[in-house]
Structure formats: structure tokens, C-alpha cells
Amino acid sequence: MYRITPKRTFPPLWRVIVGFIVVPALAAFVLAYFMPAYDGLTNATERVLRTAIMYALFGAYPPTILIGIPAYFALRNRFDLNLLNCSMVGAALAALPWILISLVSSPDQASTDGRPTVVAGSMTAFGWLSLAQFVGQIAVFGALGGGFFWAIVAAGSGTGKVSND
């Protein structure tokens, strides 16, 4: 029996391009505001700006280019472009590189604030909890970035409406 499948509508390509250019920088600035890395600088504005540049170049744009763009084009036919989906993909996109790095790296000994996180090449319970906390924080900012992506790309563009044309 023939079944009519609904036709999906997609946002204009220019909105997608703007989203992939603006959102990683915006997420890097938000992360840098809450977690500045250059504590030695005296000016808070300069600290946030330099940290945001570092986060954008080494933390936001590479996963966006390597994983985010292909994921968008692979998943857009299967999932709606709504706030929840964009936030979940943003969280996964931000957390995935850090999970992979932590699984590949294998220091012999490591500690945080005097508490051992790796002993004899094996993660301790505190190490797993510290890793989960760090990756969770990164995932929250990634989810926020996914929300920004939805706001720029999909909100108000008429996407998400399915027609039977």
C-alpha cells in the first residue's frame, strides 16, 4: 500500500552557515566568562577575551567542523530541528572530544587538589567523578550552544512544519 510521507522543510542555507560560524564563538565567549583560563592577567575583560579565543580555536570550532556540520546534514532528514534536539546534539558535540581524550590518554599518576585521580595507570573513583563533573560542565555549555544554534538557524524560519505536498 502506498503511504504518503511528509516532506520536511529546511532553513535557508545562509542561516545554517551563519549558525555554524557564530554559535561556536558565542559559546566560547559564554564559557570564557564563567571559566576564564588566564588568571594571571589583571584585566578581567582581557582575561575573558583571550580565553574565549583559545576556547573557540581549540575547543569549539574543531568539533563543530569535524563532527557538527556532518552530523547536521546527516540527521536533518531524520530529526526535527527543534530546541530539544539542537540542545542534545550540542551537549554531545561538546562532550564527545573530552570523553575521547580522557579514554585515550593514560597517565601513570595524576591528582587534583592533592586527591589521586589516576593511580598506577588506572582511574580512581574520584578521578571518574572529577571527569564526569568536567564533561558535564562542558556538556551544559554545549547544550546552551545548541540552543543558540536553534535560535539562529531554525527559530522563525518556518522549519519544523511538515507538509504533505
- Comparing 24-28, 38-42, 59-63, 146-150, the range with the smallest average pLDDT is 38-42
Average the pLDDT over 58-73 and give the result.
Answer: 92
| Averaged pLDDT of the chain | 87
How far is residue 158 from each of residues 25, 151, 162, measured CA to CA in Å?
A: 25, 12, 10
Contact predicate 106/61, CB 8 Å: no
Answer yes or no: is pLDDT of 155 > 80.
Answer: yes
Planar angle of CA 85, 67, 131, nearest 5 degrees: 80
pLDDT tens, position by position, 115-152: 888 888 888 899 899 899 999 999 999 999 999 999 99
Supply 5's cell numbers. Answer: 510521507
Q: How far apart are CA 84 and CA 150, in angstroms?
A: 9
3-state secondary structure of 160: coil
For the stretch 91-106, pLDDT in tens is: 999 999 989 988 888 7
* Angle, helices 83-104/125-153, rounded to nearest 10 degrees: 140
Q: What is the mean pLDDT of residues 144-165?
A: 76
Judge if pTM exceeds 0.75. Answer: yes
Q: When comparing pLDDT for 163 and 66, which is higher? A: 66
